[in-house]
């Protein structure tokens, strides 16, 4: 049987992943290296990549910190009743089930210029929707579960024996966290960070809805790819997409390395 299955698996992977990647790479260079460079050195391309970078940075920091804390509270937070923790635990997953477009729509419905909160912010001179803050919030919503879901299983598997042992040895909670808990969850946090970076780098639907996709203002790398395609500027779209794909492959390689180390040792 293996005579058929192995080649068939290769074929599936080739058609679905390898060949499209190769076509994308060659597509970016179909007008030569100069075409590729021209696609990337457009002011809107540079601005879009910068916007994406900024979003990734802000989102990863915020969701990283809050995600770790949320994970710890959901596993160890005995100050919350069991039922509340269970409820919160199931809510954490909801963004997975929400289509990114709907995620974006939610932000617009809540903070858009026609809403109470939106008008309030507008009056104090702070634009949320169709501006950077809205894009960040949309991406935060979509990527929130990633870190929590990486940290929680490790903490659960770890149990709190070691932490209790540390406290009987005279360590206070802060010391216990840094000396005992943190070293155990470190690789899970790294893995969660990579996932968050990858997801916020690639977020498209939510950002497209919230940003309004305004060139040189709220356009990100992915929404630029979309617009280039709408304008039939295929080479330019391929160029930007290739940059994104290279980042993704790099993140994937990091993920592979982190995955091997993230369990409980």
152 touching another protein, by CB under 8 A: no
Q: Which is nearer to another protein, 38 or 251 (CB)?
A: 251
**Least distance in angstroms from the C-beta of 121 to another protein:** 14
Under the binding rule (CB under 8 A), the answer on residue 131 touching another protein is no
Choose which of 29, 66, 130, 132 interacts with another protein (CB under 8 A). 66
Residue with Cβ nearer another protein (6 or 57):
6
Binding mask 231-260 for another protein (x = CB under 8 A): ---x--xx--x--xx--xx-xxx-xx----
Which of 201, 219, 236, 262 touches another protein (CB under 8 A)?
Answer: 201
Quote the crossing angle between the two packed helices 234-259 and 43-76, to the nearest 10°.
30
Instruction: Quickly list DSSP for 137-197.
Output: HHHHHHHHHHHHHHHHHHHHHH-SHHHHHHHHTT--HHHHIIIIIHHHHHHHHHHHHHHHH
The distance of closest approach from Cβ of residue 70 to another protein in the complex, given in angstroms and rounded to an integer, is 6
Q: Cα(62)–Cα(197) distance, rounded to whole angstroms?
A: 12
Under rule CB under 8 A, residue 100 binds another protein = yes
Q: State which residue, 73 or 162, has the beta carbon closest to another protein.
A: 73
Rounded Cα gap, residues 190 and 255, in angstroms: 9
- The CA–CA distances, whole Å, from 36 to 89, 105, 241, 252 equal 46, 34, 11, 24
Residues 6+ positions from 213 with CB-CB distance below 8 Å: 219, 223, 226, 227
Q: Which stretch binds another protein (CB under 8 A): 39-47, 124-132, 159-167, 204-212?
A: 204-212
Tell me the per-residue interface mask from 205 to 224 with another protein, x by CB under 8 A, - otherwise: x--xx-----------xxx-
């Amino acid at each position: 049987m293996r005579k058929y299955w192995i080649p068939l698996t290769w074929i599936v992977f080739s058609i679905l992943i390898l060949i499209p990647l190769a076509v994308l790479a060659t597509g970016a260079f179909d007008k030569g290296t100069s075409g590729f460079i021209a696609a990337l050195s457009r002011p809107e391309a540079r601005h879009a990549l910068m916007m994406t970078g900024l979003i990734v940075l802000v989102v990863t920091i915020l969701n990283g910190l809050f995600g770790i804390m949320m994970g710890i509270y959901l596993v160890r937070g005995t100050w919350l009743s069991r039922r509340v923790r269970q409820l919160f635990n199931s809510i954490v997953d909801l963004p997975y089930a929400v289509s990114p477009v709907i995620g974006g729509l939610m932000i617009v419905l809540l903070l858009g210029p026609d809403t109470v909160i939106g008008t309030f912010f507008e009056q104090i001179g702070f634009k949320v929707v169709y501006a950077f803050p809205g894009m960040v919030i949309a991406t935060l919503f979509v990527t929130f579960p990633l870190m929590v879901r990486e940290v929680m299983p490790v903490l659960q598997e770890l149990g709190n024996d070691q932490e209790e042992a540390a406290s009987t040895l005279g360590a206070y909670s802060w010391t216990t966290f840094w000396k005992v808990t943190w070293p155990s969850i470190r690789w899970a946090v790294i893995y969660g960070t990579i996932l968050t970076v990858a997801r916020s780098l690639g977020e498209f639907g939510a950002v497209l809805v919230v940003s309004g996709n305004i060139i040189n203002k709220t356009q990100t790398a992915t929404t630029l790819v979309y617009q280039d395609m709408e304008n039939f500027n295929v080479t330019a779209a391929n160029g930007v997409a290739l940059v994104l794909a290279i980042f993704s492959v790099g993140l994937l390689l990091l993920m592979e390395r982190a995955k091997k180390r993230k369990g409980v040792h």
